[in-house]
Amino acid sequence: VRRRRGLRRRDPDLLDELIARYHYRLFRYLWALTGSREAAEDLFQETWMRVLERGHQYSPRWRFETWLFAIARNLAIDASRRRQPESLDALLCPEDMRAPHELRDPDSLTPFESAAAGEQAGRMGALLRQLPPDNREVLVLRFQEDLNLDEIAAVTGAPLSTVKSRLYRGLEALRNLLTEKEA
């Protein structure tokens, strides 16, 4: 209720609080979608402007991050369409995609944990890039961003059954890639 009222009033303190709370998660998601730090930075700012402009549309029946990630995803797709007519597949898997960098809250990890997490994230990122874009997006939203299946359906605009099948197929493909790598 406080969040909804604050968004309707365009409360700058609430916006600062939300940006601080969701900074890493939103930026990491945008970077995973675009494959470009520069594009992610632009979309990050545009997403928060949209939150400010359309705060009155937020409904507390969904978690705030569900609404936030849906805005970010739609802006990323719009930006991709403005560049050239592409599919979501092209957006999620650009030709010049570099290895993703795992963004972490710098205060939450020790130097050893940070190094180990970065190495693990690099290996996982390489495996994820081999998956179909729709499956990869669902895996990122579920396991990296910790959204539940209903929230993922809301973010992607896909039916719940489609989200479930993409998750299942993505996990199965990831399992096969891990098995191949071990062999």
Residues 29-60: pLDDT tens digits? 888 887 788 999 999 999 999 998 888 888 88
Q: Exposure string (b/e) for 70-90, b if CB count within 10 Å is 16 or more?
A: bbbbebbbebbeeeeeeebee
Of 4-18, 25-39, 78-92, 135-149, where does mean pLDDT reach its minimum?
78-92
* Farthest-apart Cα atoms in the chain, separation: 58
Tokens standing for 174? 């990831």
User: Are 136 and 117 spatial neighbours (Cβ–Cβ below 8 Å)?
Assistant: no
pLDDT at residue 181 in the model: 74
Mean pLDDT of 166-174: 92
Distance CA 182, CA 165 (A): 26
Distance in angstroms (rounded) separating the CA atoms of residues 96 and 115? 25
Total residues found in the chain within this entry: 183
Instruction: Please tell me the predicted confidence (pLDDT) of residue 8.
Output: 81
User: What's the pLDDT tens digit per position in 106-142?
Assistant: 455 555 555 556 666 677 777 877 888 888 889 889 9
Distance CA 126, CA 182 (A): 15
Residue 83 CA to residue 72 CA, distance in Å, equals: 17
Q: Does residue 183 surpass a pLDDT of 70?
A: no
Question: Higher pLDDT residue, 156 or 112?
Answer: 156
- Using one digit for the tens of pLDDT, what is the confidence trace for 84-106? 544 555 555 554 444 444 444 54
- Residue 95 phi/psi, 5-degree rounding, is -60, -35
The pLDDT score that the predictor gives to residue 43 is 94
